[in-house]
Structure 1
């Protein structure tokens, strides 16, 4: 029988969600230098993003049930330890294969931290606050891309690319110390934690729920668009458009500031428009980005690539603010498992979408344009097949 839960302060969850974007964004300005130092092509280094995301997503299938059975706190602490060790492994790697392994392990550690954070928020705060709180967490996540590439540029220029992985380990140690001392166990006593950790019976009721289906796929499509931008940006801006690492960091940071603003403004706009209106606005902004990438694809200027990114990033804020909370609302008694499935679909699905897009004989802007159209297509398909009425229950 779990002990009576204690409610955790929100700033601890803010510290926990930083682990993921830090691992993705800090080394991006060093991608060309890493390829040169390890004598591999750019695609091999770009794969570090996809491997991390794939591992982080698939790891949810185990991390979620573990959060419900063993609690949020031990999962978070274990994930942080694995994150630190894998970051140090990356710093010491002497070939690309060891870097790939370190990123797979780092993704597993990160997934444990994220599951603990999102299920902890679900435990600690009332349902009517979740949309705003998830949006604020997304805003915190977006602060890291504003600063991490700038920091990564400095670390790479001052030392070399390995310094970025050392910094990840240092952040893990400092944040982990605070979380160790301040994070209580928030798991509710009524949490379902019996049976096998991984079983179809545990996941089937969640996967079969039409509300979860709609919002988890919408989450995944939004994440696909943003992660594809992260994967393509170093090649497009630094290689094709000959931008310096510092200029790349400034463009990347500008988008992150826009993303931060969108994440913190989204709850207010959604409160005025309603969730259906906010969802329509998010889908519409992704569609606007698609048009921009198609129309500006032949203009060899960073703004031609980044202006549509700005629009899609704001749309991303609205889609995640609504979809993240709405997908979990029906599952209060097993929030850890539901959160795990949500992030698994979001991250691993996004990695798969990016991999499939890479197979198409298209330029990076046109691949992004294709991904930008998918939220509208998914919304339209849901309405066509008649399940959208059930989905609207989440808006009431």
Structure 2
């Protein structure tokens, strides 16, 4: 976090604006990570299978991805600030709805709405980064923002474990509502609009989406973000079952392992921009993909003798890989787009969230054991290394971010 703030202070953008951006991007991970230790209790409360409790995460991510197709054009037309505040309001109301849920259907609807609110905060934040730093520095800034985001997985499960044990699982959603109220008030008073030229004309123009989607550089790098996020989603949805269900790890123990992994992710996110500065985006992606390949092979090797440590070791490596892939690939995906930064960020979010959720959902239907399913997701990324070393891949990276 200190590294991020010091980097921001050297730019032309006021530091307090980026503190607000950090708070803005935390809505999404908070809505996922804080209540992970409570998933078994939620399933028990509503008398449903664990898979339906896991669907509260998958549906949130799906809504967050699809909703960005609306939030992106809105951010381009009406401004980043307006979209951010609207998203926070919806997030607040849906958190209260989840808190009062009386059945799993009610909970799923609440999570769908919360995903829509979170997508608006995400689009507004990353479009603001693109507005403020342009194509040359946005990749580094996204890596620093991801480093800030990773503090939530380190701390939220610990807080969620305490809230669940001291009160019950509903207290996690009370905390989300309180966070939205406090941060929304701060953003209302302090966040400034950065959209230089609001778009005129129709709100939804298929040609704007197509102009982004037909760009091969965008498709490749957005695909990297999607498959890297699928690894994290596969881990997040499976870890409570593997660690607490199969291995008997306590709720506090689960929070500890989750927190250690988040610390690894934080260190990797803060190191990635420095590596990009010295070696460029191309080498950063190659190293990240090579680490993901190593993690996938290691998970297969240890799958027959799983312990908390052997299960988490490949996860640690994949978290390092994820941090390096996501920052570099996201910045490169957004680089060609200036006035369409909101639309491009929305499509990137669609790939990263809804796409990753769809990939994980399809792979889950193969009936693999959790460790093998996670390994499968890690190894899906391997062909991307060959593309990066092809003439096309090298051409994309001749002008580095």
Contact 1:211 1:390 in 2 (8 A): no
Q: Report the Cα offset of residue 16 of structure 1.
A: 0.4
Aligned runs of 1:319-334 on 2, under 5 Å?
A: 319-334=325-340
Aligned to 2:281: 275
Q: Report the Cα offset of residue 275 of structure 1.
A: 1.5
1:13 and 2:18 matched: no
Task: Please point out which of 290, 296, 299 is paired with 1:293.
Answer: 299
Distance in 1 (CA, whole Å) between partners of 2:155 and 2:66 is 28
Distance in 2 (CA, whole Å) between partners of 1:34 and 1:126 is 43
Aligned to 1:369: 375
Distance in 2 (CA, whole Å) between partners of 1:283 and 1:223 is 13
TM-score, normalisation: structure 2: 0.94
Contact 2:134 2:338 in 1 (8 A): no
Contact 2:140 2:276 in 1 (8 A): no
Output one character per residue of 1:166-188: Cα deviation in whole Å (capped at 9) or x when no partner: 00000011111110100011111
Distance in 2 (CA, whole Å) between partners of 1:57 and 1:109 is 11
Q: Report the Cα offset of residue 382 of structure 1.
A: 6.7
1:344 and 2:350 matched: yes
Q: Report the Cα offset of residue 374 of structure 1.
A: 1.6
1:142 and 2:150 matched: yes
Task: Please point out which of 14, 37, 47 is paired with 1:39.
Answer: 47
Task: Please point out which of 387, 391, 396 is paired with 1:391.
Answer: 396
TM-score, normalisation: structure 1: 0.95
1:155 and 2:163 matched: yes
Q: Report the Cα offset of residue 55 of structure 1.
A: 0.2
Distance in 1 (CA, whole Å) between partners of 2:399 and 2:167 is 50
Q: Report the Cα offset of residue 304 of structure 1.
A: 1.6
Aligned to 1:51: 59
1:317 and 2:331 matched: no
Contact 2:36 2:157 in 1 (8 A): yes
Distance in 2 (CA, whole Å) between partners of 1:383 and 1:50 is 34
Secondary structure of the residue aligned to 1:296 is helix
Contact 2:286 2:385 in 1 (8 A): no
Give the alignment's Cα RMSD to 1 decimal: 1.5
Distance in 2 (CA, whole Å) between partners of 1:143 and 1:297 is 29
Q: Report the Cα offset of residue 139 of structure 1.
A: 0.6
Q: Report the Cα offset of residue 394 of structure 1.
A: 4.7
Distance in 1 (CA, whole Å) between partners of 2:67 and 2:389 is 32
Aligned to 1:238: 244
The farther-off stretch of 264-273 and 305-314 is 264-273
Structure 2: which 5+ runs fail to align? 1-12
Output one character per residue of 1:336-384: Cα deviation in whole Å (capped at 9) or x when no partner: 1111111111111000011011011210111111110122223435766
Q: Report the Cα offset of residue 30 of structure 1.
A: 0.5
Q: Report the Cα offset of residue 123 of structure 1.
A: 1.0
Contact 1:59 1:108 in 2 (8 A): yes
Aligned to 1:209: 215
Q: Report the Cα offset of residue 309 of structure 1.
A: 0.4
Distance in 2 (CA, whole Å) between partners of 1:198 and 1:376 is 36
Aligned to 2:232: 226
Output one character per residue of 1:301-358: Cα deviation in whole Å (capped at 9) or x when no partner: 1112110000000000110110111111110121111111111111110000110110
Contact 2:87 2:120 in 1 (8 A): yes
Distance in 2 (CA, whole Å) between partners of 1:131 and 1:199 is 27
Q: Report the Cα offset of residue 194 of structure 1.
A: 2.9
Contact 1:214 1:382 in 2 (8 A): no
Distance in 1 (CA, whole Å) between partners of 2:111 and 2:181 is 18
Structure 1: which 5+ runs fail to align? 1-5
The farther-off stretch of 272-281 and 69-78 is 272-281
Distance in 1 (CA, whole Å) between partners of 2:398 and 2:356 is 26
1:111 and 2:119 matched: yes
